[in-house]
Structure 1
Amino acid sequence: MIRAAWLVVMVAVAACPAWTMAAPGDATREALQQRAEAGDAQAQVELGRALETDGVPADKVASTGWYRKAAMAGNAKGAWQLGFATMAGVGTPRDVPAGLEWLRKSVTISQNADDMATLSVVLEIDGNAQQEAMQWAQKAADKGAPKGMEVMGMARLSGHWGLPKDPALAEKLLTEAARKGDANTQLVLGQLYLNGAFGRKDPVAGMRWLQVAADSGNAKAAGLLGYFLITGKEGVPVDAARGVTLARKSMAGNGMEGHYAMGVAYVTGTGVAENPAEGWYQISLAQRMDSQKELGSAGDYLARAAAKLTPSQLTELKGRVDADAAKLPAAPAGS
């Protein structure tokens, strides 16, 4: 469980977007172009973002060129964008070490704590500078960045980076990050309480934090909460109606856990009328979305549903799953 939670944290922090800017209209683009050509580093970054996101492949090179101009002028945002573009090979040859160096320059200039946490995870994923990754995470945590606290909390819980395991400190760091409003930390904290990762199970605290995350719009949290309320697992009192409502909320946000919880509800007839076909479909679709192979009990529920279906029904359902799985959004990098 701790390893899985660590992976969730890594993916979530690495997926945090860089500085975002609204796409300019034509008139604004022309004004940006003039300012950028006059040496305005901020305009160069904004123009680079506009070119990067306009859907025209040929503009990628120009986009990265503007980031480079801003970065060379000492602009932190320009260096940040250039770093990721260079690591990904967008508009320039792919060069991970050079990209990382630009990210380092950016956070050195900006001292942005959230970016320090992101840099920590990027270095962790790269795998060639583990000590430095830990140092950036610690700096981010010391500055009060929720993502930094989350990373350091999970490191203290798992003993990552050779740090002594300290569940009490891990709980403190994660709780502080969750209280600052970080929905992913709220999700992780809820799971850890339910699974007893701090040395004790606390279903009340676990469900409370999952609910807070779900209320913040976290589809995974809503789906997990729905699953526990439907099944009564981990000592959670069954509340089928609320569980089904949360499962559907998760599904609306494309949450794999929501599809799974709803499938379980249909297979078992909990909170909804029993419907083996719909249950089999929802669970099978959830399996297609399960890049981390988290649905360990899916096979049991599928077998239970399949026992009540004919071969022709199963064939039809498989075709439906294939068709709908092809429409699913691509999983985030690293998931």
Structure 2
Amino acid sequence: MPIPARFSRCALFCIAALLAARTEFAQAQANETVTERSPTPSQTFRTDRPQPPQGIEPSDGVGVFDRMGAKLPDLPPEKPYTGAIDEAFGAYQRGYYLTAMDRALPRAQLGDPAAQTLIAEILSQGLGVKRDMKNAAFWYGKAAEGGDPTAMFKYALLLMEGNNVTRDKAKADEYMRKAADGGNSSAEFNWGQTLVADNPGDKGLKLALPYYEKAAEQGIADAQYAVAQIYQQVPDLPEDKKQLAREWMARAARAGFDTAQLDMGIWLINGVGGPKDYVRGFEWMKLAANRGNVAAQNKLAHLYVNAIGTAPDPVEAAKWYVLSRRAGLSDPSLEDFYLGIEDDQQKAAIEAANKFRRIN
């Protein structure tokens, strides 16, 4: 049963670390290339975070209230469920959480995995009721036993963490794999991460690739980034896949993944996966820098210093260097540049950096 969700950002450090050992970007050349790989990403897992519909939240556990606090009428009594329309889930989508709970509970008690998952979602998020992870875990477990992909994914996370259930990695892996095979996009990505972690080198990447590809097709930016890196850097893959590496990186970048935006800038400037395009590379780098990516801020300073994709601008270069230096990223060459500009330019750069921090 699909559950409305937004996904938390997670990096792919395990993949980049494996690939970085084999791949070297072009050496820095004035007015031509940008070096330094993006920060090597970590083995982390994605978790669904359901986004409640707007105009909801009962304040006293009775009835349903709109955003201004006015009580809304309850839905009319449910017609007998025929399978054509899931009125419990419809009530959930509209923000009638207590109604959704009431209508799902009888079906859940009769063993309906979709209804069990819906109850678990309401309890785990405290939607219209007090948050109750213990009972949520119980219903996720029942729904997982019944084969619901969303529940199997959520229950696998609980089993990995030992959260209100006994920690059991083997069982967690089993449910994560089943959820992935059942088409849950987050499970597909996470099972790919598990395969990479448990199988060092290219073997793990190749085992994980089909799952990353499925998750990427469903719009998971982290998976799109993983697919791009694997297509570009793992040998013995079909040429038609290698030719799609930059396209997948662009899709992850357009989804707002700042690490992908950084790497997209590097790929365009260095000519990785296609022709060089300094202007577009600069644009992607600046976008990632404005989103707070420290490595992108450092590289953007180099672009301004060397007039790559943009006109030279010592104040902007110094501003981005100051921001990345404050975040702990040292760079001797940029420090030399900064100390070599005029005092008034240094002052202007510091003021610009301070303004950026206030706004962001």
Write the mapping of 1:219-298 to structure 2, written as runs, cut at 5 A.
219-230=258-269, 232=270, 238-250=276-288, 254=291, 256=293, 259=297, 261-285=299-323
For 1:331, the equivalent position in structure 2 comes to none
2:221 is aligned, of 183, 190, 194, to: 183
Query: Do the aligned partners of 1:33 and 1:43 also contact (CA within 8 Å) in 2?
Result: no
**1:158-214 deviation per Cα after TM superposition (whole angstroms, max 9, x unaligned):** 217x9x9533222232233323443321112223445x46788x9755323202323
CA distance in 2 between partners of 1:115 and 1:308 (Å)? 59
| TM-score under structure 1 length normalisation | 0.64
1:135 is aligned, of 163, 171, 174, to: 174
Q: Does 1:3 align with 2:40?
A: no
Write the mapping of 1:55-134 to structure 2, written as runs, cut at 5 A.
74=108, 75=115, 76-85=117-126, 92=130, 97=134, 99-105=136-142, 107=144, 111=148, 113-114=149-150, 116-121=152-157, 123-125=159-161, 128-134=167-173
For 2:187, the equivalent position in structure 1 comes to 148
CA distance in 2 between partners of 1:69 and 1:116 (Å)? 23
Give the letter for the 1:78 counterpart: I
CA distance in 2 between partners of 1:118 and 1:276 (Å)? 50
Query: Do the aligned partners of 1:114 and 1:147 also contact (CA within 8 Å) in 2?
Result: no
Report the 3-state secondary structure (helix = DSSP H, G, I; strand = E; otherwise coil) of the residue aligned with 2:305. helix
| TM-score under structure 2 length normalisation | 0.61
Give the letter for the 1:278 counterpart: E
Q: Does 1:167 align with 2:167?
A: no
Identity over aligned residues, as a percent?
18
More helix as a share of residues: 1
| CA RMSD across the alignment | 4.8
For 2:7, the equivalent position in structure 1 comes to none
Q: Which structure would you say has the larger RCO, counting Cα contacts within 8 Å and 6 or more residues apart?
A: 2
1:34 is aligned, of 57, 63, 74, to: 74
Cα offset, 1:262, TM superposition: 3.3
CA distance in 1 between partners of 2:141 and 2:52 (Å)? 19
For 1:214, the equivalent position in structure 2 comes to 253
Give the letter for the 2:137 counterpart: L
Distance of aligned partners of 1:106 and 1:283 in 2 relative to their CA distance in 1, 3 Å threshold: farther
For 2:83, the equivalent position in structure 1 comes to none
Query: Do the aligned partners of 2:338 and 2:346 also contact (CA within 8 Å) in 1?
Result: yes
Query: Do the aligned partners of 1:123 and 1:129 also contact (CA within 8 Å) in 2?
Result: yes
Query: Do the aligned partners of 1:153 and 1:174 also contact (CA within 8 Å) in 2?
Result: yes
Structure 1 stretches lacking a partner, 5+ long = 51-62, 329-335
2:340 is aligned, of 303, 308, 315, to: 308
CA distance in 2 between partners of 1:327 and 1:279 (Å)? 19
Query: Do the aligned partners of 2:268 and 2:280 also contact (CA within 8 Å) in 1?
Result: yes
Cα offset, 1:220, TM superposition: 3.7
Cα offset, 1:270, TM superposition: 0.7
Structure 2 stretches lacking a partner, 5+ long = 1-11, 18-40, 57-64, 79-86, 109-114
Report the 3-state secondary structure (helix = DSSP H, G, I; strand = E; otherwise coil) of the residue aligned with 2:74. helix
Give the letter for the 1:80 counterpart: E
Query: Do the aligned partners of 2:315 and 2:348 also contact (CA within 8 Å) in 1?
Result: no
Q: How many residues were matched structurally?
A: 296
Work out which of the two has the higher radius of gyration on C-alpha atoms and give 1 or 2: 2
Query: Do the aligned partners of 1:157 and 1:166 also contact (CA within 8 Å) in 2?
Result: yes
